[in-house]
Amino acid sequence: MIETKDHDGVRTLKLAHGKVSAMDLELGEALIAAIARAAEPSVKAVIITGSGSSFSAGVDLFRLIKDGPDYARRFIPVLDDFLRAALTFPKPMIAAINGHAIAGGCILAAACDHRIMTEGSGRIGIPELAVGVPFPALPLQIMAARLADGPLRDLVFSGRTVQIDEAKALGLIDEKCPAGMLLDRATEVAHQLASIPDATFALTKAAFYTPILERAGALSDLNARVTAAWMQQHTYDTIRSYLERTVGKNKN
């Protein structure tokens, strides 16, 4: 589910959960645990990457409509928790985006301190509204900290995904990398950031993420309404329709 590799103080967490590392309850819990374990002193920085042609395709929509509101009620807090864990991890965290990073995959990358995407046909974006689900507060505020207001609204309301050059121009990623060199470059950046004294890095990082958490917290009432919307039958009908249009046949 998550493959772990340590080398010279850098821990690589490789998402390897199904074909596209779709986010479900189990992957979320595993990611929370993996980030917590990376707090050990021997780890100086973390790289998060994916497998195959995807970093992560985002929330497992098939699982969501199959298991319904009871599953969503358990999953949504875990989604919030693993994004919060990545965002507030006190050491450098680098997203090595090896391919498609869609919806939750894009947001997980945005929660990292530096984002590198490999050149190729991978797409990145936040099509939650096209899927038919509203944004929870924390994911939206993470994206709002990475993108200017105009581009953010365009991506949110259009639901479109973009390829690497536009992603860099918009600020979805920090840099692009030739195919085959992604982990080497991510490791180089990891060592550069890890050379900053631990406490200095952690305190400065906290200054970046604290306003994000405060803004998300201020939206708690609205977020409760968002969560309730994830439980409604019409939301599942909309997701099912989206899957039929984009994937073809709903295999669940």
Tell me the two tokens of residue 174. 């920090």
Other Cβ atoms closer than 10 A to 187 = 18
Closest CA to 159 of 138, 133, 137, 141: 133
Please tell me whether residue 47 adopts helix, strand or coil conformation.
Answer: strand
Other Cβ atoms closer than 10 A to 155 = 22
Residue 184, exposed/middle/buried by CB under 10 A (0-12, 13-18, 19+)?
exposed
Asked about 175 being catalytic, the answer comes back as no
Please tell me whether residue 45 adopts helix, strand or coil conformation.
Answer: strand
Listed in order, strand segments (DSSP E) in 21-156 are 45-49, 54-56, 93-97, 100-102, 114-118, 124-125
Catalytic member of 26, 119, 128, 175 = 128
Residue carrying the six token digits 């400065």 = 204
Structure-derived torsion over alpha carbons of residues 210, 211, 215, 218, reported in degrees to the nearest 10: 60
Q: Which residues are part of the catalytic machinery?
A: 128
